[in-house]
Amino acid sequence: MKYNVQIKVMPLKDLLDPQGKAVMGSLQNLGLQGVQDVRIGKHITLQIDANTESEARNVAEDAAKKLLANPVMEFYEIEMVN
Amino acid sequence: MKYNVQIKVMPLKDLLDPQGKAVMGSLQNLGLQGVQDVRIGKHITLQIDANTESEARNVAEDAAKKLLANPVMEFYEIEMVN
């Protein structure tokens, strides 16, 4: 069965995010009011063929740990979409 | 009040995603089975100070349209997190 897995990879909360800071500056220059913080990460969609949902989740965990996220600078969250 | 808004910006479904293809190749080289498609986009977290939730959503829509997403190549989805 095919599972659609969403992985969000974001910079750790304690780290500066220069890309986010730059975007926040641009939003203010565009005149958008009220934006107080911007953080930018990656969003990865995997389509995984597996027998069970937990098997698909394990593959996604492996992918995130081994390749997609750098634990020194980033954390990840995995979400299964039916 | 402060609203936490998540914006997902992904390459349009009809377009090739070379970054995703490269990651899929790497996952296969790592021995992960069953991954059939990978697409990679951006995940942006905004903290918005606004009076109402719909006001915060409007700011996020503006930000996505004017700066964060390129409609020729990308689509976006906005999600409010209480």
Q: What confidence tens digit (pLDDT) does each residue in B35-80 have?
A: 999 999 999 999 999 999 999 999 999 999 999 999 999 999 999 9
Q: At residue A82, does pLDDT exceed 90?
A: no
- Chain A hits for B57, Cβ within 8 Å: none
Q: What is the CA radius of gyration of chain A?
A: 16
B32/A63 touch (CB, cutoff 8 Å), yes or no: yes
Among the partner-chain residues A35, A41, A46, the one whose CB lies closest to the CB of B43 is: A41
Instruction: Give the whole-number percent of chain A exceeding pLDDT 70.
Output: 100
- Which residues is A80 bridged to in the sheet? A5
- Chain B hits for A62, Cβ within 8 Å: 30, 32
Among the partner-chain residues B27, B41, B63, the one whose CB lies closest to the CB of A63 is: B27
Q: Which amino acid is at A21?
A: K
In angstroms, the Cα distances linking B38 to A63, B4, B22 are 11, 27, 9
B67/A23 touch (CB, cutoff 8 Å), yes or no: yes
> How confident is residue A40, by pLDDT bands cut at 50, 70 and 90?
very high
- According to DSSP, residue B31 is labeled T
* Domain assignments of chain B as residue spans, ordered by start: 2-81
Q: Which amino acid is at B5?
A: V
> How confident is residue B10, by pLDDT bands cut at 50, 70 and 90?
very high
Q: What is the pLDDT of residue A42?
A: 97
Please choose, from the candidates A5, A81, A64, A20, the residue with its C-alpha nearest in 3D space to the C-alpha of residue B45: A20
CATH of domain A2-81: 3.30.1280.10
> How confident is residue B82, by pLDDT bands cut at 50, 70 and 90?
confident
Dihedral of the CA atoms A13, A18, A21, A26 (nearest 10)?
-150
- Tens digit of each residue's pLDDT (9 = 90 or more) over A4-35: 999 999 999 999 999 999 999 999 999 999 99
Shortest alpha-carbon distance between residue B23 and chain A (Å): 8
In the three-class reduction of DSSP (H, G, I as helix; E, B as strand; rest coil), residue B68 is classed as: helix
